[in-house]
Every structure is written in C-alpha cells, then in structure tokens.
Chains A and B, each alone.
Chain A
Amino acid sequence: MRTLLPIARIASLSFLLGFGAVRWQAAKKSEKTPPSLPSPASSKEMLEPSPSATAASSTERIESALALGKKLQGVEQEYEFYTKLKQLDVRELAACADKFAELVQTSRSATLCEVWLDRWLEVDSLVALRWLESTEFLDKSYTPQNGPSLLSILGGPQSVAFKVLARRQPEWTRQYLNGIESGAKRDVAVYQLIGEVARQDAAKAKELLDGFNSDTNRGAAVQGFVAGLAASDVRAAFATALAEAPGPLRNELLQTTFGEAAKHGVGTVSELLDRIQDPVLRRKLAAEAALGLAWHSRENPLPWLMEEAKRKVSFDTNKGNYDTWSNYVGQALMTDNHDPVAAINWAANVENDPEQKLFTRMLGDWSRSDPEETRRWLTEHPTALEEKNLNKVSSIIAVMARNDAVATSAWAESLPPGPLRDQARFQAALGSGSEGSFAQAVAAYHSIASGDTKGDLAKQLTTVLVKLDATATARWALQMEQGPARSTVIATVSEQWSQNDPKAVASWIETLPSGSDRDRVIGGYAAKVAYADPAMATEWVLEVDDPKVRADAAKQVFRVWSWENPVASRAWLQSLPGVDEKWRADVLQKAK
C-alpha cells in the first residue's frame, strides 16, 4: 500500500499533466481558428443606445441597415444586414419604420418583411403594433390571388407579416382581422392566424375555426388549421381534411397533409393513403407524397411506388391526374436519385402508363443531369425502345444532341445497326444541323422516313431546316413523296417561314399551281399573317380550296382575331363560305 500511494500520486500527476498538455495544445490551436464574433449585445444594450450615440450615428445605423436590406444576396450579406438590424434600438426602429415599409413594398421581399417585423415586435411590440394600426402597410402589402389556390400567395410580404404577427401577437392579430372586410382580402390573415395558433394549441385553433363556420373566409380558416395542425399532428390534420366535402378545397387540404406526412416517411404516407377509398384520389395524393418524400426525406420512395403503381386506377376521367402522376413521380425518382438505373428500369416496364409518360419524363431528367449514363442505358436497353417508344425518346436524344452534338454523334455511330442508331443519327444531325449541315440532316431523315408515319420527325426536321435555309427547305418539301410527311412538311415550312418572312412566302405562293400544296402553304401563311393583319388573313383563307385546310386556317385566324375584335371575327366566321356547318357552329359555340 505504501508502495502504491506514491505510484498513484505519480499517476495522478501525470494524468493532470497529460490533460493539461492536451488542453493547452487545443487552446493554442484555437488561436489559429478564425476570430470569434463579438458576443451579441444583451437586450438591454440593444434597447438602450450608449450615451455617446449621436443623432448622426443613429442615422448612419439606419441608412446602413436599409442599404444592406436592398441587396440581400448571399448568406454573408444577410448576416451583415441582420447584425445591423439588431443594432437598431427601439427609437431607431420606430424612426425608420416608414422607410422599411417602403423597401418591403418596392422589393416585395417577404424575407425582409418577416425579419424586420419580427425584430421590431421582439423588442418593442407596443410601438410596432401602434404603427401597424396607424398605417396602411398591411393593406398595401396585399397580393391578390391570381389563381385557384390560396397557397400561391402565402409567400408574399403580407402573408409573412401576418405569420409573424400571429406567432408573436395572436390576440392583436385576431382583433385586427376582425376589422378587415370579409372576403378574399382577409384570407391570408385568417390562414396565418389559425395556422400559427394550431401549431401551438390545436384546441384553441379549433375554437377559432368554429367561429368561421358560415363565413366567406371559412376555406382559408380550415386551410390554415390543417396546415398548422399537420406540423404537430399529421393524423389529426388528415382526419380534418378527409371530413371536408369533396371538392377542390378538400383536395388542397389533403395535399397539404400528405406534404407533411412525407416528412415522416413512407410508413406514415402509406398509413394515411390506406384510408382513401377513391382510387383516383389515392393515386393523386400518392404522387404528391412521392414528391414530398424526395424533397423532405432521405428514404428511397421507389419500393413503395412500385407497390402503389400496381393498384388499378382509371386515368380516363381526368387526364390531368395522369400527368400529375407521371410528372410528380418522375421528378421524385430523379431528384436526389438513389438509384437512377433501377428507377428507369422500372419505369420502362410499368403498367398503366399507356403513353410512357413516366418513363420519358424520367429519361428526360436523367439525360440532362447525366447524359453519358443515359446514353449507356439506351445502348444497353434496345428492347425498351420499340417503335412506339422510340419516337418519344427522340426528343430526349434531340436535347442531348443540342447540348453536346459531338458526344451524341459519336454515340450514334457506336450503336449497332437498327432503329435506335437511325434515330440517334438523325437527332445528332439535327443537333449539328443548327450549325449548318442541311444535307446531313436530310440524309439522316431519309434513313428513318419509312417509320415516320405521322410526319412528326419530318416536322422536327423542317423546323430546323427553315432556320438554315428557308428557300431550299421549301424546294425540298415539294420534292418529297406524297403522303402525311410531305403534307406536314409543306405546312410547317409555310408556318415557320411566314413567322419570319411573310413577304417571301407570299412570293412563293405566287409560284405554286392550284392544288393541295398551294392550299397548305396558304393555310399556314394565313394562320401567321393573322397576328399582324387579321383582315388580310381572312382574304387569304378564301383562297384555300380544300374545305378541311380552309377550316383549319379559318380556325387559326379566328382564334387570333377574336381576342381583339370578337364582333368582327364572329361576323366573318358566320359568313365564311366553303366550310362544314357543324364545324362552324362548334367553333362559334366554343368561342366566348
């Protein structure tokens, strides 16, 4: 024991030495690190300017904060601005309120509005609220809703102002909005108040919501309630949304809920989806949630989406749902992609995607972010590109060719003979076509012309060729074999050329004999001339003999003209000879 004691002492001493040495080293190292920021002033210091503060320095502080507020670009400037804002004392904040308000209104900057009001309410709520009551700031910051959804204006200055007010001064906000006339102008205030209260106290928010039961702002109130509640209790928010009468409002409420549910992961999303009976609505919300998962979670949504896509759903009744599904899911799987190849492989073969919209959306996104891998995938999956898909992929290859004609061309030449190589060569030629190889593009088209039954590729080619040499393109068009591609090409030459040089097209028309070619050229010409001179366009329509081409041209002219002269354009269409009566009645009925 006597032996151990000094040993223990030595050990302790050494321990302290080691500890101290490491701490000392660390302290020395910290001297090399960037200088720490001055510690933030205490609130007392912030509120009470030092006795030496003069009127001039006060003005300087205000001007400096305002100047920084005008150019908030990047986090460093934002930090500098916020530091200056914090240095303003209560008197200075009151003194510069009008200038800040003006800056918010001219810049329409919601972030500036938010931080300024938040700061002022934090340090001097009494004066800030009095100022808000005595000025028209909140009223003038109003952004009219220019679309069907209230959500589209929640990012505006007035909206964030009410958000800050609702968080810091809910009672004042409640009283203030009572003074606003019922209607759309009050929506944002109602939304933000109930939303903020719901974040903190769902029961209190429910009471507030009940007060709007038969009010014109009920929709905004329930939207705010669900949005706020979803942040703390997504299941309760979902129940509220689901209890709404079916319609656009309920759809938005459910979308909000699923946006929030996605933050909790696939499990929560699946649980809530299982309570949706309508398969079309379920599919729509699954698409929303997929996007939410891609943005707000690290979870790979692919396995879940693969299961979800197996559910039978009819897209017949609403084409928009099909587009939403394809776009949202496509974007979700290619944003922050975990495994693009697996996702593309799935999309290439997924059922219930009759137009391959999901696949082409994903392939398009991938080709922009990683063209090399996209080309490799295309090479390795020729069977995925059967004839009907090949034309859809053509626009993606076209974009790759425009962005990198050399690489796309080299890839095209490396492909084995077959439709994909022909298509790739054609698109690569078009890509370089914009730089001058007219003949190469035409030759490439001839290798795939037999598959171009509707003339889609011919139209694409013609659009490029007209820009290179419109006269030569017109000549080439008239040399094509009869068929849909030729008709498309002639009409396209006429439309594209007329856009840029109507005089030249008028001269071309003079050289053409009567017949279908001339009719098509005049039809395309009249449709474009209507933008400059509708009355003259109507005369050209009369020159078209073919009733179908005449009707198409007349419809285009009427569409343009009716915007500026509904009376004259209707009168003209009503008396236009040589068109089908049913067609005429239909066009007139659809016009307003």
Chain B
Amino acid sequence: MKTSLMILAAITGLFGGACVGYLTISENPEALAPNEAQATESSPGDPKSKVLDFGSNTRIARFFTALNEPVTLKQRAELFEALRSCTAKDMPNLMARVQALPYTTRWDLTPMVIEHWFDLDLAAARDWVRAGSHKWGVTAWAKADPQSAIREAALAPNADYADDLLTGAIPRLAPGNPVTQAAALAEIPAGVLRNRVLRSLIYSWALNDPAFAYASLEQLPPGWEREEARTEILRKWAERDPNAALAQMDALLPSLKAGVLGNELTTKIAEQIGEKDSKLALDWISKLPVEFRIAPAIGVARIWAAKEPEAALNWCMENGVDVARGHRDGFQGWGTGVLGEAMAAHPEATISWLQTLPAGMERDRLLEKGLDDALWVAPKDVLFADENPLWVQLFQGLTEEGQIRLANNIGMERAKLGGLTDLGTWVQNFPSAAARTQAIIGAIAAAYMRDTTMIDPLLTSISSTSDRDAAINTVVGIMVIDAPASAAARALTISDEAHRCEALDFALKSWQKRDPIASRAWLGENSSIPASWKAKWLQAQ
C-alpha cells in the first residue's frame, strides 16, 4: 500500500512538475499589446475568446507590442526583431493572431510573418498558403523554395496565384541568368499561364540583358501585351545603351505607323534617351519622317528646357516646334509643353526669353501661355514674391483680353498661398475692371476652400460695391454645395437688387431640393425678402 502510494506520488509529482514546467514556458501574458487589444474590443463580430485561444507567449506579445512604436521604420525594425525571436512552433499562433487583425494592419504584417514562417518551417507555411489561397504568401514561398513553388504551379495552373509563384520562383533558380530562366519557363505548357509569366520575366530580363529580352518577345502572342512589352524593353535598352536601342528603332521604323500624336513607341524611346543626352535624341528625331517628329521633339525639348531653357526654347523656334503645345500622354493625359517646363525650372530666365520676342500676336500668345503655365507649375513663392513678383512682369505684357482670361486663376493661386488679408488693395494690380472682378472671384473661391472664416475680412477689404457683390455671389455659388441655408443668408447681403434676387434664387433652389421644409420656413420668416419674390418661390415649391 505504502509502496503504491509512493509510486502514485512519484507519478503525480512528475506529471504535476511537468505541467507547471510547461506552463512556465508557454507563458500566457495577461495583457495583449494595446493595438491588438483595441482591435479585439472593436470587433464585436469576432469573439475575444477566439483570439485568446491561440495561446500566446512572450515572443508573440513582443511582436504585437512593437506595433505601438510611432516611428514607422523603427516599428518595422522592432517587428522584424521580434519576429526573428519567434520559433517555428510560434508561427501558426502568430499568424492566426495577425489574421484576426483589421485589414490594414493585416496587410502590413502578413508578408513579413509568412516570409519568416517559410524560413522556419517550409511545409507548414506552404500548407497555410495553400489552405487559404493566400496571395500574400506566394512571393515568400517562391523565395524560400523555388523548386516546390514551380511544382505547385504546374499542379494547379488555374490557381489564381500560379503565375505569381512562377514569376517569383523562376528568377531564383538562376539569378541573373535569363537563358536558364527561359529554359525553366519552357517546361510550363504553352498557354495563358506561360504567357503571363513570360511577360513578367521579360521585364526583369530587360534590366540586365535587353537584347535577350527583345529576342524573347517573339514567344508572346501578337497583340497589345507584346507591344507594351516591346516598348518597355526598348526603354530599358535606351537607358543602358542608347545607340543600340536607336539601331533597333531604325530597324522597326518601316513597320511603325504615325497617328495624330505621332508614334507612342518612338516618342517614349526618344524621351528616354533625351533624359541623358538631349542632343543625341534630337539628332535622331530630326531624321524621322515628319509625321513622327513633333511629339518626341516636344518630349525631349521639355526635358532639355528644364536644364537649359533658352537653348531649348530657341531650338524649338528654329525647328518649327510649338513651345506652347502641351505634352500629350495619349488623348486623356496632358502635361505642360516646352515653355511650361522652362517656366517651372527657370521662371526668371524664361520670362527674359519671352520678353525678347518681337512684338506681335505670337509674342502675345506665348506670354499668355507662359503665365498660364507658370500659375500651374512655377514655384509660387517666386511667382507671388512681395518684391517684383514675376506674375506682374508677365501680366503687364498681356493684351486686355488675355488679362481678363487669366485674372481668375491668378486670384485663386494667390489666395491659396494664404496671408492675403487686404484683397481690395491687392486687386489694384489689375488695371481693367473686368480683370479685377475676375481676380476677386478667384481669390474669394480659393480663400473659402481654405477656411470659411477668412471670407468676411476679405469682403470687408473690397471697397467697390459691384466687386463686393461679385465676390458674395461667388461665395453663394460655392457655399450652396455644403450649406444652402448659409448661402441663402449670404445672398441677402448683395447690394444690387437684381443680383441679390438671382443669387437668392440659385441658393433657394438648391436648398429646396435638399430640405424643402427648412427652406420654406426660412423664406416665410425672413422679413427682408420682398413679398413678390417670396410668392414666386413659395409658389414654385
């Protein structure tokens, strides 16, 4: 009996000791990292117990604690450090916890966690990726074990991650060796998957061996994908070896067509070369058939203009390239042309160049375009400097019509800078009444967008009644979007009766659609509105 008891005590003791020992290893810290705790609390859809059930430990807690670090890169370094202390056994638990986090945090953390998991336990990490078709883990898989990644893609070619597996794995089989990579790809049956992967690989081959990448293009089916790949390869080639790329372009030219924007490939390659050697690019462009020339000439000259504005502008004038014409990127995209780029990088020199042009319509046109572009791209502190502002230098040279056309934009850009308190004085820079009104409208609109409370001091600074009415009318027009009631009240402050009626009509119509009861009540109660106006609006309701 005694012996039995002793044996039992020994077994119980051993078991108990083992349990306590085990428990002290897999510690279960009471406190989750604050972010994680908050995420769990704020997610009634996920019971807290589900998260806590994973059985956390100090290494995992350390990982989540790192999320509290406010400095982004420091946080990521701490996360990585914490991750490196985790063992293979920790990983399923850690990954489950990460997957229970909100989307953005999960999006940040999953790639690093799965990558580490692959380093520690390839089979388990692979199972996790397979089980959930987790695209996030595919790159890590391909990196950790390219052979099995390729096998997996071959077994499941229709899986939505098959191409990512191959694109990630094949370069790792033979880094920097496109020939071997191409041979590995050839093992994949011909079809959509192989074409997709080839396209991706071709882009990477183009970085180091554009000639090989270019030769591989033939394996892609004809169509826009092949053409897009060809453009990219030639661009990379042009970056590495401009003369070799131009030789290829010369060979291609007879098969290319020029549309109304020239030829996209020709333009892109010329621009790529122009980044480093404008002269080489422009010399090549000058030999192109005329219908190919204009778009790449603008593209290259605008790059040159950012470095040497006068030389680039003069070259354009001598070669029939309109410096005012925009740089087109297809039919939807549009950027500044040669004049705009010169204005952005060297506004003073560009203005001097413009001022040397002979008087006439062409000079007027370019001065106006120059200021228009400057308002868009030139440094605003230079343009609107307190002393001798550049915009005034250009503005004074414009025709009256041109001044009126640009005044609104000038007012707007000036007000965006802030610090414009005395609008009434500032608009004296505009000699004509029409331009002045436009400048006020632009300035008021921009000030309203910046801070609604800034409007009243600006309005007060305007002494002309008609200008102030125009300004209030602008405020009403914008305010009606967010605050139709305030817009209607504001409309009542317009001095001119006809304009007041018009502005009020505009505000009320919008308010009525948004809140008919409130607008009707306001109209009924407001004694400053003539009865005849009220009757008209109430009847319309």
From residue 70 to 120 of chain B, which have CB atoms closer than 8 A to chain A? 70-74, 76-77, 79-81, 84-85, 87-88, 100-104, 106, 111-112, 115, 119-120
Q: Is B540 an interface residue (CB 8 A)?
A: no
**A166 to B: closest C-beta gap in Å:** 12
For A112, give its contact among B2, B73, B328, B369 (CB under 8 Å): B73
B482 and A247 form a contact (CB under 8 A): yes
Q: Which residue of B lies closest to A29 (CB)?
A: B87
**Chain B hits for A218, CB < 8 A:** 451, 453-454
Cα(A320)–Cα(B340), bound, Å? 31
Q: Is A336 an interface residue (CB 8 A)?
A: yes
Cα(A144)–Cα(B384), bound, Å? 14
**Chain A hits for B409, CB < 8 A:** 592
**A447 to B: closest C-beta gap in Å:** 25
Given contacts A531-B261, A567-B401, whether A249 and B450 have CB atoms under 8 Å apart is yes
Cα(A300)–Cα(B401), bound, Å? 58
Which of B268-276, B463-471, B510-518, B529-537 forms part of the interface with chain A?
B510-518
B217-259 vs A, Cβ < 8 Å mask (1 yes, 0 no): 0000101100000000000000000000000000000000101
**B137 to A: closest C-beta gap in Å:** 15
Q: Which residue of A lies closest to B261 (CB)?
A: A531
A564 and B325 form a contact (CB under 8 A): yes
A311-339 vs B, Cβ < 8 Å mask (1 yes, 0 no): 00010111000000000000000011010
A554-577 vs B, Cβ < 8 Å mask (1 yes, 0 no): 000000000111111000000000
B328 and A531 form a contact (CB under 8 A): yes
Cα(A17)–Cα(B14), bound, Å? 6
Cα(A400)–Cα(B353), bound, Å? 54
A37 and B84 form a contact (CB under 8 A): yes
**B336 to A: closest C-beta gap in Å:** 10
From residue 490 to 539 of chain A, which have CB atoms closer than 8 A to chain B? 498-502, 528-529, 531-532
A564 and B324 form a contact (CB under 8 A): yes
Q: Is B21 an interface residue (CB 8 A)?
A: yes
For B74, give its contact among A6, A17, A115, A297 (CB under 8 Å): A115
A79 and B20 form a contact (CB under 8 A): no
**Chain B hits for A7, CB < 8 A:** 2, 5-6, 9
**Chain B hits for A250, CB < 8 A:** 452, 482
Q: Is B449 an interface residue (CB 8 A)?
A: yes
Q: Is B10 an interface residue (CB 8 A)?
A: yes
Q: Is A107 an interface residue (CB 8 A)?
A: no
Cα(A336)–Cα(B107), bound, Å? 10
For A10, give its contact among B13, B119, B451 (CB under 8 Å): B13
**Chain A hits for B180, CB < 8 A:** none
Q: Is A11 an interface residue (CB 8 A)?
A: yes
**Chain B hits for A135, CB < 8 A:** none
**B48 to A: closest C-beta gap in Å:** 11
Q: Is A295 an interface residue (CB 8 A)?
A: yes
Among A29, A249, A502, max chain B CB count under 10 A is at A249
A247 and B514 form a contact (CB under 8 A): no
Which of A52-60, A182-190, A578-586 forms part of the interface with chain B?
A182-190
Among A18, A30, A245, max chain B CB count under 10 A is at A18
A130-148 vs B, Cβ < 8 Å mask (1 yes, 0 no): 0000000000000011001
Cα(A144)–Cα(B379), bound, Å? 9
From residue 445 to 494 of chain B, which have CB atoms closer than 8 A to chain A? 448-454, 457, 479-484, 486
Cα(A249)–Cα(B120), bound, Å? 51
Cα(A592)–Cα(B406), bound, Å? 8
Q: Is B381 an interface residue (CB 8 A)?
A: yes
**Chain A hits for B24, CB < 8 A:** 23
B515 and A278 form a contact (CB under 8 A): yes
Identify 16 new A-B residue pairs, CB closer than 8 A, beyond the known A114-B73, A183-B418, A531-B260. A3-B2, A7-B9, A18-B18, A30-B87, A34-B85, A34-B119, A75-B111, A219-B454, A299-B43, A299-B45, A300-B45, A317-B481, A335-B103, A500-B257, A502-B260, A532-B294
**A–B pairs, 30, beta carbons within 8 Å:** A7-B2, A10-B13, A11-B9, A14-B9, A30-B87, A34-B87, A72-B73, A112-B73, A118-B71, A184-B418, A216-B421, A216-B454, A218-B451, A245-B486, A246-B479, A246-B483, A248-B448, A248-B452, A248-B482, A279-B514, A295-B103, A296-B102, A297-B39, A314-B514, A316-B513, A317-B480, A467-B224, A498-B259, A501-B257, A564-B369
Closest 7 CB pairs of A and B: A18-B17, A14-B13, A246-B483, A22-B21, A298-B43, A219-B451, A247-B452
